[in-house]
Every structure is written in C-alpha cells, then in structure tokens.
Structure 1
Amino acid sequence: MLKFFSGVLALVLATGCSANQQTEVSGVTQNEKPAHHGDGVFRNLYLSDDAKPGTFSFLKARFFDEQDWPQEPQNYSQFWQPTPPDVVQHAGSSPQATLIGHSTVLLQYQGITILTDPIFSDRASPFSFAGPKRYTQTSLSLADLPAIDAVVISHNHYDHLDVETVQALGNNTLWIVPLGLKDWFAQFDVTNVVELDWWQHYLLKGVEIQALPSQHWSRRSMFDTNKSLWASWAFKWPDFTAWFGGDTGYNDVQFKEIGDALGQVDLAMIPIGAYEPRWFMKYHHVNPHEAVKIFKDINAQSAFGIHWNTFVLTAENIDEPPLALSQALQLNQINPDRFQAINIGATWTVDQLAGNATVPE
C-alpha cells in the first residue's frame, strides 16, 4: 500500500508534467506588477484558476478514466539512435541541435553550447523506486557531453528539473531559470544561477537568451504549487534564432505575441507528447495539432518534436505522437520535412532548414 501511494505521489508531481561569463539581464521595466504575478504565486493569463490540475483529477485520469494508459515497454528502441560523441564534441560552424531524450536538447552554434531541461535519471520522480520510468535511454551519457555554457530550465516538474543531473553539472555551468527557482538550486550548493521573468533577456557571449511566456504550472511538493514560474525560451544569435517550448498548453494569444516579437524562428523545439486524456491535459500540454498551431504562430521555419518517446506520463499510445503530427501537418498543408518527430539521438542541422518549403495550396 505504501508503494502504491508513493507511486501515485510521484506520478502527480512528475506529470504536473560560470562566474567568468558575461552577465547582463535586461527587460521591459514594469511600473506595476506583471499580470502573471499573483499573490505569492504565478498564474496563467488565459486560463481560469479552476483550470489548474489537481490530485483528484489526476487520480481520475490515471485510474478511472475509460482511456487506459500504456505500459512501459521493455528494451524499446523505436525512434531512437545513439549519438556519436564526436557529433557534439566537435560541432561544426553551422547551427545544430541534438535531441538527447525527452525535452533534453543540446543546441550548438558559433562555439556556444546550451542544454535544455536535462534529465539523465532513470525516473522522473522524487523517488528512486516509483514514478515514471525511462523506457528509452538517453542517446548520450553525461560523461559524453561537451562543455556546457548554459543550461536552461523551463519549469520545475520532475521530468524537466532533475536533482541528480543538477548535482552532476553543478557550478561548472550557468543555470538560467524562471523566477522562483534560484533558492531551490541553493540547497544543492549550486549558486551559478540567473533568474528571469517573462520577456527578460540574458546576454551570454553574444547570444541573447530570453524568457518567454508559456501556459503551464509548477510544483515540486504538495505545498509549493505555482510558487515558481514556467517559461519558454528564445536563443538569438545575430543570424539564427531558436525557440524551446518546454512544456505548455495552447492559447491563441501568447504564441502569436512571441512570433511578433521574434519575427522569425529558424528552429523550434515544440512538445508533441503527453496529451491524453484531453479533458485533463488540454490546458497544460499541447497535442500535435496544437503543436502545429504553435509552429505557425511563432513563424517557425523548421521544428522538431520534444517531450515524447521517453516516459509514460499520459494515456496516448507511445507511438501515437508522430502519427498525429503527420496528420496535423497534412491538414495545414505544411511540408512534413519542416516539422519532424526526429529520433532521440538525431541531430538537426541547418541543412534541413535550407531544404524546407511550404507545400503549395
């Protein structure tokens, strides 16, 4: 019985799904408290307060909904390939992005290496014995990673912010996080941390890293819901812009605002998994059809899917996201080469961007 309730708690928390570096934080000055800042918590601007997920809703979705959740497969290798370490250790002069697993991406350009939402643990959980278990391995080990200039965190759920990985990387890299997370890192003696609010910028060796809105929530325990912020992220070189969606639901305002602000996104990393049942997940996790809406709203030229093919977090079949993405692209008359469900371990390169084109109507 204890194991059962420990497992439930782990699932609830997980699915809620260097000092020598140049530092510069800037953003629009606010004369009043920003609208997404509540009374001691953060809030979504386009959701009612009663739309936030709750424990009882999760239990209903997990154990009493008519839609069964898939089992974690054994020795699963579909949509997976190893990443040769040389690919990331000796990145070329063009932009490249390697999907290491789940939402962990290694973005490299002009000698700058950025890592997103790294999780190398076997479970996305506060426990080592319960909670969502990895069924596809990372395509690289921590030891195979190149030197990391910065790690960007979208929010504090266990499948995006992993204690073991944080401790392994420690102060050897710069952590760029949403508001409210710096104190969390301090408990592990990780102090090389910069917090940003939505629309604030950080300048890293000439690359502008900007926190941008998303529609999600945060929680590490039963008592800290929404006390830290969630965010998507833009990475802006003079001639190349990438966007990382983290975890998000869809609304028809904020992503269009992001598109207007960025002008054009050369590469977008957009979540395509963990979305069923819709009555429970729709406010905070996009499905592939909504992922395509985001692709269009932010003016993305090329994209690949993240947040799938790693953990059983929700009820859709584990091989469903790429099929649903293909259908959504066809309905929107978008060339499927522009938005792909690439394998874990695959590396996106700028050559893919050059070859992409919209299917004519």
Structure 2
Amino acid sequence: MLKRLVAMILLTLAAGCSANQAAPDGVSGQGTEQVSEGGEKPAHHGDGGFRNLYLSEDYEPSTLAFLQARFFGDMNWPDAPQDYQVFWQATDPALVQQPAPQPQATLIGHSTVLLQYQGMNILTDPIFSQRASPFSFAGPQRYTQPSLALNELPEIDVVVISHNHYDHLDVESVAALGNNPLWLVPLGLKDWLQRQGIEHVRELDWWQSHTVGGVQIQALPSQHWSKRTLFDTNKSLWASWAFRWPGFTAWFGGDTGYNPVQFKEIGEALGQVDLAMIPIGAYEPRWFMKYHHVNPADAVEIFKDINAREAFGIHWNTFVLTAETIDEPPQALAAALQLQQIDAQRFQAMNIGATWRANDSLQLTRAQRPGSATLPD
C-alpha cells in the first residue's frame, strides 16, 4: 500500500503527467501569446502563474480517473527493461570534445541533447540521475544510461531548461554542472536555481531572446504545464527554445502537447528550422496525455508547422513514464511519416548516443531565409 501511495504521488508530481485543471476561463483557441499592448500582461500570464491558450473546450482530464485506471484498472503498463540496448549506443567522447566544423547534436538520453556549433556547447534539459523523481528510492528509474557521463562532456557554455518537471530539471545534474554555464530558463525558475546555488541564470518569457557566443537563443511557446510540489502548479512557465546562428537554426521542443496555432507561429517567426528536436514518447493513454504530450503523429505535425528540414526524436527510450510499449514510438513515427509522405530520413528516431550532423546542403546564409531577421534581445 505504501509503495502504491508513493507511486501515485510521483505520478502527479514527476515525469510530466498531466494535472486535472480546468481550461482557462474564456480560452478556447482565441487570442495570441505575442501581443502585449498598453502595458497589459501577455495572454499566457494568468493570475499568479501561467496558462495554455489553445486547449479545446473539453479539456477536463481527470487525474483521479487516471490513477484508478493505472493502479486498480486494466491499463497495461510496461515494466522497465533491464539493460535495454535497442536504440542505444555509447557516444565516443572524442566526437564531442573535438566536434566537426558543421553543426552537430548528440542525444545523450531522454531530452538531454548536446548541441555544438562554432565553438558553442549547449546542453538541453540535463538529467544524468538514475531516477526522475523527488526521491532517491522511488519513482521512474532509468533503464538506458546516459550515452556520455558528466565528466565526459566538453565545457558547457549554456544550459536551457524547458520546464520544471523532474525528468527535465534534475537537482543532481544542476549541482554537477554548477555555475560555469549560463542557465537560460522560463519565467519563474530563477529563484529555484538560485536556491540550488546557481547565480549565472537568466529568465526569459516567450519570444524573448538572449545572444551569447554568436548564437541567439530564444524562448518560444509550447503547450505544457509546470509542477514540482503539491502547491506550485503552473507557477513557473514552460517553453521550447530556438538557437539561431548565421546560416543555421535549431529548435528544441522540450515537452509539449500539440495545437494548430503556436507551432505555425514559430515556423513563421523562424522562417526555416534546419534541425528540430521533437518529443516522440510518453503519450499514452491519449485521453489523458494528449493535452500536454504529443504522440508521433502530433510530432510530425509540429515538424511540418515549424518548417523543419530535419529532425530527431527526444523524450523516449529512457524512463517508463506512460503506457505505450518501449519500442512503440519509432514504429508509430515511421507510420506517421509514411502517411504524410515525408522521407523517413528527414525525421528519425535516432539512437540515444548517436550524433546528428548537418550536411553541406543545410549551410545557407541568413539572407536566404524567409522570416529570419535577427530579433532584439
């Protein structure tokens, strides 16, 4: 009974499960996040927190119903495999210590990606711990190890955080990386990082950007939520991120549900995305997860909306967070791409540990890009 109680608490706190909350008053896909006139706060700023704008009117997922189905119903939940090596490979440390001249991105595990270009080393949502949990003894346990250890990383210049769930903001990894990198976070997370001893941190709202080392890094919308304790639901913001060098643009989705508005806005703003890192896992059952976690079919819609040339999947093959089988995301992604008649080489369920590298055809000048004017900080 105690084990079940702890697990139920974890499912509501950790690993990105959706909360039971009503749709924002008066919001059913109307309005825009980008407009803030006459000193009014942006539309995604609620009273004392933040909110999604493009959830349908039937948005009432029940956490209680989910927990009942999970623990007392007939929902099939995969067991964490032991030493799972399919879709995993070790990364050669030399590959990241001496990166190629062209842009490259290494999937270390879950949503942790090392993005490298022009001397910059950028790390996304670092989690190197064995559990995505507030507890060391319980919670989702890692079944594939990081493809690189912390001491095998190059010197990290920037860390970006998408939101505060335990599988994306890991206290042990934060402590290990320390104050050497610049931490870029959505609104509301600076105080938490400072409590962990991190002072080299900057908060950004959606559409704000910061330039460092020749790359413009911009916080962009996503459809998700935040919660780290029982009392802080949506007190901090969630975000996707764009990385814009002259001639190369990457986008990191973090964790998100799909809507037909925000990602098209991102595509229009960026013009074209050379590399997209899009979540493809942790999406079943759909009646509960669809509002905040895309499935592979939704991921393909995001791929199209943001005008991505190439992509690889993140947020899978690391923790058992939801009800789909371990090997389902790459199969579902292949089926979705075939249905949309998109070349499967353009959007891959890349192995953890593999490194994506831009080929020469992607090296376009910024002047060749529609909608690619530099945005002010």
Please state which band the TM-score falls in when normalised by the shorter chain.
over 0.9
Paired position in structure 2 for 1:22: none
- What residue number does 1:20 align with? none
Amino acid at match of 2:296: P
Q: How does 1:53-132 map to 2 (within 5 A)?
A: 55-132=63-140
Pick the aligned partner of 2:300 from 279, 288, 292: 292
Q: Tell me the alpha carbon deviations over residues 111-131 of structure 1, each in whole angstroms, 9 at most, x when there is no partner.
A: 001000000000000001111
Q: Secondary structure at the match of 1:345?
A: coil
Where in structure 2 are the equivalents of 1:18-57 lying within 5 Å? Answer: 31-47=39-55, 51=59, 55-57=63-65
Aligned residue in 2 for 1:358: none
- Shift of the 252–29 alpha-carbon distance from structure 1 to 2, 3 Å rule, reads closer
The 10-residue stretch of structure 1 (158-167 or 59-68) with the greater mean CA deviation from structure 2:
59-68
Q: Give the Cα–Cα distance (whole angstroms) in 1 for the partners of residues 360 and 292 of structure 2.
A: 30
Q: How does 1:179-328 map to 2 (within 5 A)?
A: 179-328=187-336
Q: Tell me the SS of whatever aligns to 1:97.
A: strand
Matched, 1:164 2:172: yes
Aligned letter for 2:189? L
Give the corresponding residue for 1:3. Answer: 3
- For residues 249 and 143 of structure 1, do their structure 2 counterparts lie closer, same or farther at Cα, with a shift above 3 Å needed? same
**CA deviation after TM superposition for structure 1 residue 185, in Å:** 0.7
User: Take 1:301 and 1:205, find their aligned partners in 2: how far apart are those partners?
Assistant: 25
**3-state SS in 1 of match to 2:273:** coil
How far off its partner does 1:245 sit?
0.2
Give the conservation status (yes or no) of the 8 Å contact 1:11–1:125: no
1:28 to partner: Cα distance: 8.1
Q: For residues 183 and 105 of structure 1, what CA distance do their matches in structure 2 show?
A: 24
Count of paired positions: 346
Deviations 1:197-237 (A, max 9, x none): 00000111121000000000000001000000000000000
After superposition, give the CA deviation of every residue in 1:219-263 in whole Å (9 maximum; x if it has no partner). 000100000000000000011000000000000000000000000
Deviation, 1:50, is 7.6
In 2, the alpha carbon distance for the partners of 1:146 and 1:223 equals 37
AA aligned to 2:264 is K
C-alpha separation between the residues in 1 aligned to 2:168 and 2:61? 18
Q: What is the distance in 1 between the residues matched to 2:233 and 2:280?
A: 24
How far apart are 1:8 and its partner, in Å?
Answer: 2.1
Give, in whole Å, the separation in 2 of the partners of 1:153 and 1:100: 15
Amino acid at match of 2:240: S
Q: Assess if the C-alpha contact under 8 Å between 1:61 and 1:280 holds in 2.
A: no
Q: Contact 1:12 / 1:58 at 8 angstroms: preserved in 2?
A: no
Deviation at residue 52 of structure 1 after TM alignment: 6.6
Alignment of 1:332-343 (within 5 A): 332-343=340-351
1:21 corresponds to which residue?
A: none
Question: Aligned to 1:330, which of 310, 334, 338?
Answer: 338
- The alpha carbon displacement at 1:351 in A equals 2.4
In structure 1, the partner of 2:28 is: none
Instruction: Give the unaligned 5+ runs of structure 1.
Output: 18-26, 356-361
8 Å contact 2:36–2:42 — kept in the other structure?
no
TM-score of the aligned structures, taking structure 1 as reference length: 0.92
Look up the match of 1:177: 185
1:354 offset after TM fit, Å? 5.3
**Whole-Å Cα distance in 2 between the matches of residues 76 and 269 of structure 1?**
22
**What residue in structure 1 maps to residue 12 of structure 2?**
12
Q: d(CA) in 1 for partners of 2:101 and 2:60?
A: 43
Is 1:344 paired with 2:355?
no
Pairing partner for 1:140 from 148, 153, 158: 148
Q: Deviations over 1:30-88 (max 9, x none)?
A: 52110000000100011269837664244134224543010000111110000000010
Q: Which residue identity lines up with residue 303 of structure 2 in the other structure?
A: F
**SS in structure 2 at match of 1:211:** strand
Using the aligned pairs only, state the percent identity: 72
Which whole-Å deviations, capped at 9, do the CAs of 1:156-177 have from their partners, x for residues lacking one?
A: 0000000000011111111100
1:300-338 per-residue CA deviation (whole Å, 9 max, x = no partner) reads 000000000000000000100000000000000000000
C-alpha RMSD over aligned residues: 1.8
| Native 8 Å contact 1:28 1:199 kept in 2 | no
Partner Cα separation in structure 2 for residue 352 and residue 346 of structure 1: 19
Q: State the alpha-carbon separation in 2 of the partners of residues 163 and 42 from structure 1.
A: 23
Cα distance in 2 between the residues matched to 1:52 and 1:221: 21
C-alpha distance in structure 2 between counterparts of 1:352 and 1:44, whole Å: 39
Distance 2:133 2:242 in 1: 27
Q: Aligned-pair distance for 1:352?
A: 8.8
Could you report, residue by residue, the CA deviation over 1:257-278 in whole angstroms, capped at 9, with x for unpaired residues? 0000000000000000000000
